[in-house]
Amino acid sequence: MIRVERVIHGRPYIETKDGPRFKPCAPNSVLARLGDKWTILVMSHLAVAPGHRLRFSTLKGGIEGITQRMLTLTLRNLERDGLLVRHYFPEVPPRVEYELTEMGASMLPALEGFTSWIRENWPRIVDCRHAYDEAQQRAEDQDAPV
Amino acid sequence: MIRVERVIHGRPYIETKDGPRFKPCAPNSVLARLGDKWTILVMSHLAVAPGHRLRFSTLKGGIEGITQRMLTLTLRNLERDGLLVRHYFPEVPPRVEYELTEMGASMLPALEGFTSWIRENWPRIVDCRHAYDEAQQRAEDQDAPV
DNA sequence: CAGGATCCCAACTGATACTG
DNA sequence: CAGTATCAGTTGGGATCCTG
């Protein structure tokens, strides 16, 4: 069986007799990180901050509903990926600042392109969800009419 | 307290005395969907398919490791968001095809911009993770040396 | 101030079996 | 073929309490 490796829409895949088969999506783990509950909000704050730099308490105060634990975890994960760096000042009380790395900042345009699409289409998505849910509801009502 | 609503980097936020406070990120639910384990793979397959259209079994065969259940759930969620439509043919055996909607197809360029950034920076991210994990390991070894 | 350590519940995911 | 139903394992996220 011949397996030719190609690239389309920028994605590598293997052409088989059953159609294209994409290789297991490694970069998916990046999207998984960004898709979690708080990461985008953290990145957005740093994006608009002077010097792409903010301290822990400012982030916590600026993100409604985030707990200390989740902010810490989110920042650790971003630091692990090399998207931001942690600056620790051993004063009393201690002060910690987080700053986007060059790589972190380089992600902003791509991120912006995506969120911009979301903003434009969000109302329509909401409508679709409602329509779908109501159609679903009507179907159930018909299956079990009281 | 004065609260001025502004927009920066395309994101709406409120200027407060403590800095910018972003509104709870509604569109996050879109990124959360895309960040799950299979959605991007499904979208990629439909993106390169003729007519942006594929049948269930083709998708299942083209995505390594996906179970019937997870493919069904993924497709249902995308359908609910209006990104694809389901075409059911009541034959025996039944045949079902999934096709990107106009809105679904309009997302592809933005998605491509993002995944392209990921591809370019992925090796570096992997390096950062390894470096971080090893530094972490060394720190633990020092705390508890045998 | 900036977290680390625990506990706990809900949601996501997968394996398996069954069906129109 | 293209699902649905059920059960079980794992993970994510929040609440709470404690500390250098």
| Angle formed at CA B124 by CA B121 and CA B130, multiple of 5 degrees | 140
pTM of the model: 0.87
In strand C, the nucleotides that come within 7 Å of a protein beta carbon are 1-6, 12-17, 20
Residue nearest to nucleotide D14 (CA to C1'): A67
Question: What average pLDDT does this structure show over B108-124?
Answer: 90
C-beta atoms of B24 and A64 within 8 A? yes
Can you give the length of chain B in residues?
146
Q: Region A1-13: what's the mean pLDDT? A: 60
Rg (CA), chain A: 22
Half-sphere exposure of A106 (CA within 13 A, CB side): 14
CA neighbor of B45 nearest in space, from A6, A7, A21, A17: A21
Strand boundaries in chain B, DSSP class E: 4-8, 11-16, 19-22, 53-55, 84-89, 95-100
Buried b (16+ CB within 10 A) or exposed e, A48-67: bbeebebebebbeebbeebe
Which residue blocks in A4-107 are alpha helix, DSSP H? 28-34, 39-48, 56-62, 68-80, 102-106
Cβ neighbour number for residue B24 with a 10 Å cutoff: 9
Q: Is the pLDDT of residue B2 over 80?
A: no
Interface residues, strand C, Cβ cutoff 7 Å: A 55-57, 60, 68-69, 72, 75-76, 86, 88, 93-96; B 36-38, 65-70, 73, 93-94
pLDDT score, position A137: 81
Interface of B with A in 83-102 (CB under 8 A): none
Which residues of A are less than 8 Å from B49 in CB distance?
A: 19
Average pLDDT over residues B17-34: 70
Sign of the CA dihedral running A64, A70, A71, A75? negative
Query: Which residue of chain B is at minimal alpha-carbon distance from A50?
Result: B19
Q: Determine contact: B50 vs chain A, CB below 8 A.
A: no
pLDDT tens digits, one per residue of A84-141? 999 999 999 999 999 999 999 999 999 889 888 988 999 999 999 999 999 988 887 7
